[in-house]
Structures are given as structure tokens and as C-alpha cells.
Amino acid sequence: MSKINVAIIGGTGYTGVELIRLLSRHPHVTISHLTSRSEKGRVVSEIFPSLLGVCDVVYSDMTDDVMDEIGKACDVVFFATPHGVAMSHTPRLIAQRVKVIDLGADFRLQDLGEFGKWYGLEHTCPDVLAEAVYGLPEIHREKIKSAKVIANPGCYPTTAILGLKPVIDTQNSADKPLILPNIIIDAKSGVSGAGRNAKMNLLFSELSDNFSAYGVAGHRHTPEISQGVHAFLGSKFTQKVRFVPHLVPMIRGMFSTIHLTLTDDGKALNWQEIFEKVYQNEPFVDVLAKGVLPDTRSVRASNRLKIAVHQDDDALTVLVVQDNLVKGASGQAVQNMNILCGFDEMCGLGVDFGGCAVVP
């Protein structure tokens, strides 16, 4: 099979460098272009020595000429940039027949009002947004195959939506409510979730030996979780989702604990069996054996998401772990590219690199 050319826009950030790590070893991919405004002219391994001998591409600035060249040379372009960047370039790229995978938020929320409210920007290409596919393979695999633009999901929403999917699927085919109205998602992320830039609260002396909540009054991922569970999954699912994220003093990893209260009809079901059945054919979702609890180290640098289910009378607790930079971002983006391009879905993602991660 011939190789495809890909570009990574924002190739010096945490998710961009994870993409380099994964795509450099992908048998069907050549990384032809990397952009960075601050590191233009420098070779990747000068900045990330662990990529010496793995990737020797030189960073380019994001000029119009470079973007035009990328449009002509590339089959797939990844945007690993802050929100607002991808939507400025995507219409031109898709006109050049390039497929776009945005790791940012520009194409995630279908409701323009919600996008404006949470991201403080007016959407510049609502027609492209309307056709974009939310790239969560476990729910949209068929749509991803023919997408022009893929909105790679947010990290917290990936854990929340996949943690709730078996419950919602079961509710959809039930006559009576199985769970009570309130669902609580208590989530924790490592610091790399905030990106590779200088912020006071991310200083070592502020963050280490510390543990804090944020976004309690409202977080951008709440409408995305809501869209996932109500619009994409839940025809009969009206329950409200409450989401509180926390920052924990570790570099990478994410742990979401979802608390649900079962009705008498819900209590009568065997949720361990339901979760196992829903995910039995999913290559990157593991349902742990009854009584086994997940931890973030077990998914470090891997594209696997692990779920444990604990049922105790009317309490159903779903525990989900992933690496925020891999299944929560770059690994999922590669999984989406594999589906889009007709490669084996696990290609380039089957091996867990553990200690070889670029971001330690």
C-alpha cells in the first residue's frame, strides 16, 4: 500500500508531539510538514531529543504559501492547535480535497450558539461544521469513513460518553427509566491536559503536592458531553449530566468516575455483563473483570480506554481511565485517520510505548 502524506499544524504542543511519536512509526504515513510559529526552521529532534532518528522534519511557519503547499501535498492535515485556528484554514484545505482532523474544538459542537457561548468566537464556516463528523469511533465509525472533516473529541468527553454509552444504549431499548435524573461525573486530569504553555497555576511549585477543582460553575466540555449523550446516543435519555473536573499533580492520564442511581428496573439488570457485551468487539475499549479497578498508569502512552463497573444496590459506579494525550487526543486522531483512509484501525496504535513517551 502506498503511503499518504500528512501535516501536523501545531507540531510543538503536547498533542502535536504525540502525533509525531505515533505517526512516525505508522507504516502507511509520511509526515511531510510540521508547523510551529515559534520554532520555524528548527528540526524536530533539536527540540525533542527522544525523536532523534525517528523524525527529522523541519518546522515551518504557517504562512499562506506553506498552507497552500500543504494543501497540494497532503492527504490528511491534523490541527493540534487552540480553538479558532482550524476553522480559519479548513474550507480552503477541503476545497483542495484534503481531509482534516481537528484535535481542537472548532467542529465539535453542532449548536452555533453553544460554540459562541463557550469558546467566545463566532464560527467562520458553519456550512463545514454542519458536515463535520464527531470522531468517536465507538459511536460514529461508519460516518468517519466518508468524512471530510473530523472533530476529534475532547479528552473528558471521550471518557464520559464511552462510560455512559452502555447505560444509554440499554435505556434506549427499555420501556421504563433505569436510572434517576442526576448523573455525576467526577473527573481528574494530569497537567498536560492544559497544553504546553506557561500559566501561573501550572508552575511546579503551585501544582505539585496539590489537588484542585476547576470549571465548577461551567466547563467547555459540559455541552460536548451533553451533545454526545443526548443528541448522538440517547433517544430516551433525558437525564442531566453534572461534570466537575479536577487537576491532579501527574503529567498525563485521566480518571473519570461516573455516579448513577438505579431505579428498581435498573437494579434488576447485570451491568457488568451489559458493559462487556457493548464493548466486546471494540479494539481500544477494555471492560475490566468484576472487582478489578483501573488506574492511569495502566493506560500510559496507550490508545486504550479501560472501564470498570461496580454495582451495589441502587448505586452504579462507572470508572474510566485513559491517557488524555492518546485516546483522549492524538491516538484517537490516528484511529480516526485509519478508519478514514481504510487502514487497519489498530495500525500504528497496537503497541503501548510506555516509558518511551515523548512527553514524560
Ligand X SMILES: NC(=O)c1ccc[n+]([C@@H]2O[C@H](COP(=O)([O-])OP(=O)(O)OC[C@H]3O[C@@H](n4cnc5c(N)ncnc54)[C@H](OP(=O)(O)O)[C@@H]3O)[C@@H](O)[C@H]2O)c1
If binding is defined by CB under 6 A, does position 303 make contact with ligand X? Answer: no
341 is catalytic: no
Helices (H), 132-254: 137-145, 155-172, 204-207, 221-226
Shortest distance, CB of residue 158 to ligand X, whole angstroms?
8
Interface with ligand X, residue 15, by CB under 6 A: yes
Q: Are residues 252 and 190 in contact, defined by beta-carbon separation less than 8 angstroms?
A: yes
Report the 10 Å Cβ neighbour count for 239.
22
Catalytic-role residue among 55, 74, 125, 155: 155
CB-based contact 294:258 (threshold 8 Å): no
Name the residue with cell 494530569: 190
Subset of residues 71 to 90 that bind ligand X, contact rule: CB under 6 A: 80-83, 85
Interaction mask 27-46, ligand X, x per CB under 6 A: ---------xxxx-------
- Sheet of strand 182-189, all strands in order from the earlier edge strand to the far edge: 212-213, 240-247, 182-189, 254-261, 315-322, 305-312, 285-287
Minimum CB separation of residue 65 from ligand X in Å reads: 15
Q: Does 338 bind ligand X (CB under 6 A)?
A: no
Of the residues 91, 177, 195, 283, which one makes contact with ligand X according to CB under 6 A: 195
Who's near 76: CB < 8 A, 6+ residues apart? Answer: 4, 5, 6, 7, 98, 99, 100, 101, 337, 340, 341
Per-residue mark of binding to ligand X, 100-129 (x: CB under 6 A): ---xxx------------------------
Task: Give dist(CA 118, CA 350) in Å, integer.
Answer: 35
Q: Which of 71, 157, 163, 193 touches ligand X (CB under 6 A)?
A: 193
Is 247 a binding residue for ligand X by CB under 6 A? The answer is: no
Q: Which is nearer to ligand X, 285 or 325 (CB)?
A: 325
Q: Which of 123, 141, 143, 196 binds ligand X (CB under 6 A)?
A: 196
Binding site for ligand X (CB under 6 A): 10-16, 36-39, 62, 80-83, 85, 103-105, 154-155, 192-193, 195-197, 324-325, 328-329
